[in-house]
Structures are given as structure tokens and as C-alpha cells.
Amino acid sequence: MACAKIAPGSWPRALGRIWIKSVISVMKNKVIAYEGIFAEKGKTIEAGEALGYVMERCGIQKMPDMPENNDFEEFSHMVVDWYFSGNWIEVREFDDA
């Protein structure tokens, strides 16, 4: 059985490109929920409820007169990403295309 010759050093780069492309394609898909693992096993938090869940668990309260501007939006994304980076797995929607 003959094997194709691969130039020295090109195999890991080729695999790296394939891996990066697959990671990018997964990251394009929207997060629809967070599923708990380890200490959070059995819990599923819908993406739309994630910020409220995080704020409740961390004891953060939004002031009634606090405006929802770019700073609050940025904070919201950061705190949700931070909280669900531990014992949680992102559940993403996938396109069939």
C-alpha cells in the first residue's frame, strides 16, 4: 500500500487549519442554552434567562433608573461569559446547511 508523501512540517499545519475552521464554524452558531456539568449537573438555563440567572446567583441587582446603554450590554455579555465558563457547556443551534 502506497502512502502519500507529506512535506515535513505541513501535516500539523494542515490539521491546525482544519481544527480552526471547525471551531470557527461552531462559534458562528448562536448559544441557545447552558447545560450544567459537575456541581451544576441537571440544570439547563435558556440563553434568554442567562443574565437574570447570573445576576440572581451573584447577588447583583439592576437599579430601576439605570439606563441600558453600551456599557450595560458589554457588562451583560462579559458576566454571562464569565459565569458560564466553569461548570457549564454551551448548547448551540446548528444549521443543517
- The C-alpha atoms of residue 62 and residue 60 are separated, in whole angstroms, by 7
DSSP state of 84: T
Q: What is the pTM of this model?
A: 0.67
The segments of the chain whose pLDDT lies below 70 read: 1-27, 95-97
Give residue-wise pLDDT tens across range 16-42. Answer: 565 555 556 556 788 999 999 999 999
- The C-alpha atoms of residue 11 and residue 29 are separated, in whole angstroms, by 28
- 38 near 84, Cβ under 8 Å? no
**Residue-level pLDDT at 6:** 53
The residue among 89, 71, 82 whose CA lies nearest residue 31 is 89
